[in-house]
Chains A and B, each alone.
Chain A
């Protein structure tokens, strides 16, 4: 039961001659929430992009269900949901069209469920208005509505609390806790003070002090 979903083995990443992380190994178990912590520029987003398979510039291995991810790429992609800084919301499309397009490649989702998800993020009445007319927070909510219809066992979420108001943050926290209780795994970064019982932590940005001072 506690076989790890995703394992990172000796990850090492440099960017612009600066070591972001090295010898970084950890496992993501089912039904856990893992928070990547560290100051700005410590490589949190890079780590999440490496885990999601968007960034190939890191050395080391990422294992999916104990196998090398390259070999089981399709299974990995099908079972992982990544929402980044730029969540893939098209300004010219309506929230509903955006969700349709984003879920189409993952088996699709009936419109009624998508409308319900939009209502669940407080966007009822805005389903058919182009996203460019919505506020920044509302556009983030369109992206987050995906979480309400997502059944992927692993979620990789980069700064999802950005531009979300207090009530939204609270609802989102509840959603994450509920998700973990249902057996989903989440790895995320946030500067928001997240309170989730049993949260795992990965700390970045401590290992490279020596490197930096050496360079100076």
Chain B
């Protein structure tokens, strides 16, 4: 058990170190997030009447797309340099190591998005309470995006360019999270209670945490068998 944890820690540390040393991979999804949100006031309407009700949805969609954008990197570099082979041959269960990689991915993409959210939420005229709830839904929702995304990234690893296929496969799985995320923010804006919806999102997270790493680990085995 202790060796499992220290192996997971080592995997996370390696991913965080390598990412911090090539910051463009880190900054791309963040910049994308900011740009997409900025374009709505410019391209549709800067009026409060439009932005306030739509704001939660805009931020959620932008966050979802920027996580999607970063998914291809999750296993690609490790696949190319052989790190993935070595991970598979570690004595620890592979799903734990995949879980560690997913957590590292969230820390490097999802969490920065959540941190930026209050700033962008003010830009789209969201109110205090809504901003809090929006951050909370993203805090619970973005790890789900990373975990589910890991399955798609693992499955498409054998392909030269996985971009479109990855999106087609993963977006349907993201839709429930998106619906509940934006629904919760809208409910909060209308002053309704959101505890139930947040609990449901928590259930999504619990489900993704326990099941997605198994699926992703199995997908990695298949992808590497053909590699």
Q: Tell me which residues across on chain B come within 8 A of A89, comparing CB atoms.
A: 81-82
Q: Residue A56 at the B interface, CB < 8 A?
A: yes
Q: Residue B3 at the A interface, CB < 8 A?
A: yes
Give the contact-size bracket for chain B.
20 to 34
- Knowing A84-B82, A90-B81, A101-B13, the reply to whether A54 touches B226 (Cβ < 8 A) is no
Majority SS at the chain B contact face: helix
Question: Which of chain B's residues has its CB closest to A130's CB?
Answer: B21
Binds B, one of A72-80, A110-118, A167-175, A192-200: A72-80
Q: Residue B196 at the A interface, CB < 8 A?
A: no
- Interface residues on chain A, number (Cβ under 8 Å): 31
Question: Which of chain B's residues has its CB closest to A56's CB?
Answer: B225
Choose one: A78, A102, A104; the contact of B6 (CB below 8 Å).
Answer: A104
B 128-150 to A, binary, CB cutoff 8 A, 1 in contact else 0: 00000000000000000000000
In the bound assembly, the distance between CA atoms of A106 and B92 in angstroms comes to 9
Binding site for A on B (CB under 8 A): 3, 6-7, 9-11, 13-14, 17-18, 21-22, 77, 80-92, 97, 221, 224-226
Q: Return 29 A-B CB contacts under 8 Å, by A number.
A: A54-B89, A55-B225, A56-B221, A57-B226, A74-B91, A77-B89, A82-B85, A84-B82, A84-B85, A86-B82, A88-B81, A89-B81, A90-B18, A90-B77, A90-B83, A93-B14, A93-B17, A93-B21, A101-B10, A101-B11, A104-B7, A104-B9, A104-B10, A104-B11, A105-B10, A105-B11, A105-B90, A106-B90, A108-B6
